[in-house]
Amino acid sequence: MNLLIVSGGKHPYEETTPVLSDFLIDSDHQVSVVTDTLEILEALPTADGIILNTLRQKETDNDLTDEVKSALKELVWNGKGLISLHISPASCPDWDEMKKITGGGWVSGESWHPPFGWFKVYINDKNHPLSKNVKDFWTYDECYCDLNIQQNINVFMHGVVDKEIKPLGWSLKYGSGNVANIALGHAGASQSHPMFQQLVLNAVDFIKN
């Protein structure tokens, strides 16, 4: 599958994007990585699937332009698959459609997480396509809490903080497009975890079907 990774922003993408790209290539996918806004606009139409491993904000002078937003919305709505990783849904905070496309995610000033460290991830829907060959696992990452959660999502994975369930993975249909959101993957070590990589590979299969 020809995959486009949109990277860059205020997060350790210099660690995570090479890990992400390498294991996708090792799994026989073709991968292109873009960070520049103009390059994103040019690359979107030619990709079979889009992976957001990025944080685009005005504060860091890398917010998506209106042209890129429009193209992303139209392409996914018309059937191009999308995978959103970790904090990517917090991109373009003034654009409400981002949360609708990704099914929700991090909200700056509202969402939070315990200190980066070890926690257990639970697969609550073992029959979900994104759960294939994935079982409950411990990971070294951030367990996101108080995320924006849209109504039309299918949650298959969660963490537990203060005895409360915290959704960490879901899928949805945005128009004709299949969308997968995996809220894990903060650091290179996080994205190197075999279960994280299996989740992403499952997501690739999911968005192309």
- Give the fold, CATH level 3, of 2-208: Rossmann fold (3.40.50)
Q: At residue 178, does pLDDT exceed 90?
A: yes
Domain boundaries of the chain, sorted by first residue: 2-208
> 204 pLDDT band (50/70/90 cuts)?
very high
- Mean pLDDT across the chain, nearest whole number? 97
> 35 pLDDT band (50/70/90 cuts)?
very high
> 116 pLDDT band (50/70/90 cuts)?
very high
> 57 pLDDT band (50/70/90 cuts)?
very high
For residue range 122-161, list pLDDT tens digits in order: 999 999 999 999 999 999 999 999 999 999 999 999 999 9
> 22 pLDDT band (50/70/90 cuts)?
very high
DSSP 82-149: EEEETTGGGSSTT-THHHHHHTEE--TTT-B-PPSEEEEEEES-TTSGGGTT---EEEEE---BS-EE
Average pLDDT over residues 150-177: 98
Which two tokens mark 201?
Answer: 């590979």
pLDDT of residue 193: 99
Q: What is the pTM of this model?
A: 0.97
pLDDT of residue 31: 99
